[in-house]
Amino acid sequence: MHSNTCSLYRSLKYIFCLATFLMLSNYSGAAAQNILPYEVSAGILSFEEGQYYQAVQQLENAVSKYPMRIEPHVYLASAYLAIEDHTAAINAAEKGLVNFPGNIRLKLVIAEGFYRSGDDRAINEYLTILDMLENNQDLETEHGITQNQVRTTIGNVYQGMANEAYQDGRSQEALNLYYKAREYSPDNISIHNNLAYILFENGRLEESLEVLMQANERFPGAEQLSVLRGQIYNELNDSEKLLDVYSELYRDYPENLDYAIIYGQLLMSNNQAQKANLLFETLISENPGEKKLYDLLIRMNEQRYDYGGKRNVLKMQRRAFPDDRLVAEELAETHILIEEFEEARAIYDSLAVHDQSEKYHVMIARSWVFEEDFDAALQKYRFVIAEFGESQDLLIDTAQLHRILDQSSDAVDLLIKADSLGPKEELKVQIADLLVSQGVHSQARPYLNELFQSRYDSYATFYMNKISDKDLSRQELLETYRVILRDMITLYGDLFEENTDKVSQRVNNIGPVLPEIFQKDPVLEILENSLNDVFTSMSGHFNFIENIQIIEYALLTHPESAILHYQKGLMAFNDSKPMIALGSFKKAVEYGANDYNLYFQMGEIYHELGETKNAILSFEQTRTLNPQFAKAYSQLIDVSQKANQLDILCDRWLMEYKTDKTNDVFNEHLIEALHKADRFEEATQILRDDDSR
């Protein structure tokens, strides 16, 4: 339960005798008009000065001496209450009732004493007092105590009992007591709030909401009630009413930034993005130093993929925090995402003025890579290396640019330098790959030798055998390829998983933005190409049966390898064994293969087998994966024509044409299909459209 509620409960035990003390003040007034005995007056004076222990002594004497005066009995009982001697207070009051039966003042002290000592008889005493007042209205005037005061006190007592039941885990009992508390003290907002909260906590949302709506009629716009109502609407997934609640909270408590933020977020989730943006921009203009406002608006724009909006917010944030480098960096990265490269470089230039490291110069170089001006990027990287030295990362990035520009010799030189700064197996793979591709086998061998007994052993073994003059027997060669293929598939799977994790981290904004060419793992690409080399080499060395044996051996370790199933199918397809090929292609698809060539080959097999429907589906999937692959369109026309379904194909393609007229390969084959279906007018219209474009 809320902490402010608990503190209220703790304080209740010390205010319930309010009516008693109000009544005692009437005695003081009466004492001023009536001459009291000295002992009584002295005791009352000590009580009113807060000297309760002294008052007890004096009033005990007064009661003994003047037992038929009401004043000493009431003040003595109240003094015992003040010093927390509840039993003595009750006893003193009960003695007084012997001489003054039915005295409300004394009965109030007894009720309070019972309550403070945890005696359940307290509530009955209060109810008896209320009954007396209701049956005799003259008692209110006589004793200065009203029915409303007693009702409020009864409500507070029930509230305290409800709190104790709640703290003990007796929720239903607490609820019953709160309902009684609300009956007697309807103007106590905490009773309504806590009753609704316990219902809410117990999952009785509709009942809780009903309590709050009734409370709202008595306390319109009460903050604590509105917040709880919002919690309930949130649990009920009623976004519109939740939005209404926070709209009211923002209106009534504009100084509360948290309410404003929640309201803005709710506007966004209710598809009122423009209104949400205006709200946050207003909040930022009013609270330019509140970083969380910028962060929230930035995240909201990111969720909508509105990077132009994100850029605008970051510009405002940078004006508010001109010395915050992280804000400037994020703004520059956002400029790059929306291809505003000059703006990004201007920011990095300004940051570089106050930074003595290579960091921002490298970011400038990368901005040129993003812009695909590789010559400018290379020039900047050379400047950074000359200015700050040959760090391994700089050399690797620069080597990658040389590879893109087909400057293999320069790339090798830089990678060799990078490897000398801290040997890495991955660098040796890249060096060996470049040297093998250049035909410089003598220089490649030392790097391949260093990769033996490493995770790249299979890669090194394959290329060492490929460039070696050593002759192997057919059986030795067969065994070597079995091991190479199995282990290279293992290595490829490991590298693929590692690269997937890195991509996932970048998607989740862990780490800086990198150009696409630096996001790709060059070793993974090398291994993909190497696997293709292995399969090509197998086709050159072995017959169909031997190749299948090599692949089947690898499948024992990797039964769910899409690559192996696809290559098995491809070899069967090339060896005119369509059923074996089709079965393997289906396995490849089952295990995740999604290559357009695979679907095209499946389509050709289905076409050959006369399975028109499957052929069409396969060729359609082919062109979906590669919309520029002309053979897929041609095969679709041929299959549809032979099956007398050319009009169906034309109708389907015409619908597609209406949504996208920019694919020239598709348009060309649509015209061909229309001509073959004798639908010349429609073909002519497409030709006119092409001319107008």
Q: If you write DSSP's letter for every residue of 97-164 in order, what string do you get?
A: HHHSTT-HHHHHHHHHHHHHTT-THHHHHHHHHHHHHHH-THHHHHHT--HHHHHHHHHHHHHHHHHH
Which class is domain 1-145?
mainly alpha
User: How confident is the prediction for the chain on average, in pLDDT?
Assistant: 90
Distance of alpha carbon 115 from alpha carbon 93, whole angstroms: 14
**Of 436, 440, 443, nearest in space to 459 by CA:** 436
> Around 550, how many Cα atoms within 13 Å sit in the side-chain half-sphere?
30
Longest dimension (CA), the chain: 133
Is the per-residue pLDDT at 30 higher than 60?
no
Domain ranges of the chain: 1-145, 472-593
Is the predicted pLDDT of residue 16 greater than 50, yes or no?
A: no
Amino acid at 119: D
Task: Please write the tens of the pLDDT for every residue from 478-514.
Answer: 999 999 999 999 999 999 999 888 776 655 554 567 8
pLDDT in tens, 393-403: 999 999 999 99
How confident is the model over 434-448, as a mean pLDDT? Answer: 95
The per-residue pLDDT for range 582-609, each reduced to its tens digit, is 999 999 999 999 999 999 999 999 999 9
Query: DSSP label at 68?
Result: T
pLDDT score, position 33:
43
pLDDT tens, residue by residue, 214-235: 999 999 989 999 999 999 999 9
pLDDT in tens, 645-682: 999 999 999 999 999 889 999 999 999 999 999 999 99
The least confident of 147-151, 201-205, 322-326 is: 147-151
Q: How many CA atoms lie within 13 A of 634 on its CB side?
A: 5
What is the amino acid identity at position 50?
A: G
On whether the 472-593 domain is CATH 3.30.565.10, my answer is no
The answer to whether 1-145 and 472-593 have equal CATH topology is: yes
What region does 63 belong to: left with phi over 0, alpha with psi -120 to 50, or beta? alpha
Among 29-33, 92-96, 252-256, whose mean pLDDT is lowest?
29-33
Mind listing the pLDDT tens digit for each residue in 608-632?
999 999 999 999 999 999 999 999 9
Contact by Cβ (8 Å): 593, 560: no
For 569, residues 6+ apart whose C-beta sits below 8 A from its C-beta are: 580, 581, 582, 583, 584, 585, 587, 588, 598, 601
pLDDT band at 519 (very low <50, low <70, confident <90, very high): confident
For position 329, what pLDDT does the model report?
94
pLDDT at 558 over 90: yes
pLDDT surpassing 60 at residue 637:
yes
